[in-house]
Structure 1
């Protein structure tokens, strides 16, 4: 009878691949853990208690670790999102009227707009506020 617990556990762990959330996997692992006393012909109450305790511990404690690691909440911004808040230097005068201007952020040159539409001269330090299309909206520091 213990093999039923193992098969059911494996099936549930495979189902976790299809459904996100890290819930079904813990039932599968708990069934596999409960197969241990079932293998030794323990009374049903012991098998049920083992399953319940394993499920409780896994869902309360271990799930938090997995959700934090794999949910993406602690992700690192990439591409243009990584530029927001960065410092830059104006390399070509930013002029809102003529829609011209360039800024160097790190080692890249970007087209730039002023957040207020003001003229920002060459050499001024700026901070990137947001990205609009292919242009960085900056504010003078």
Structure 2
């Protein structure tokens, strides 16, 4: 029986290598555990039930843990690097209307943080990003 569980483990491991998801690896681990448990349990039906229970439990518990950990992970983007940077207004920013600013040689649409008018040529600081617009304030 140990040889059969070893073959099952290898088949699931190969299946995991071929697929990009972390799904089949848990069945491979379950089969490896059954290699040792089959020394103590002779009934094949009980072995299959234990294999299914271990594999599905690992799949559900570890997948939930990975997903939960992924939810709290903050992906670093190049946009965050622009926060706090200074730039120049290329096209006047009017209250509730977008203007254009140049920050690190890139043009961005922008809005004023306080809804104030910021004239062309003024120096600004990037406060936050909303969608594809920079929210800026005039440096006095």
Measured against the shorter chain, the TM-score band is 0.5 to 0.7
**Whole-angstrom CA distance in 2 between matches of 1:50 and 1:100:** 64
Q: How does 1:36-75 map to 2 (within 5 A)?
A: 36-40=36-40, 42-67=42-67, 74-75=73-74
Q: Determine if the alignment matches structure 1 residue 140 to structure 2 residue 136.
A: yes
Residue 9 of structure 1, CA deviation: 0.6
Q: Which 5+ residue runs of structure 2 have no aligned equivalent?
A: 93-98, 112-116
Q: How does 1:1-141 map to 2 (within 5 A)?
A: 1-40=1-40, 42-67=42-67, 74-79=73-78, 81-83=79-81, 86-90=83-87, 93-96=88-91, 102-103=102-103, 109-115=104-110, 119=119, 121-127=121-127, 129=129, 137-141=133-137
TM-score relative to the length of structure 1:
0.64
Q: Which 5+ residue runs of structure 1 have no aligned equivalent?
A: 104-108
CA contact 2:26–2:58 (8 Å) conserved in 1: yes
**Cα deviations by residue, 1:78-124 (Å, 9 ceiling, x for unpaired):** 33x3346x12223xx41227x98543xxxxx3334452595354443
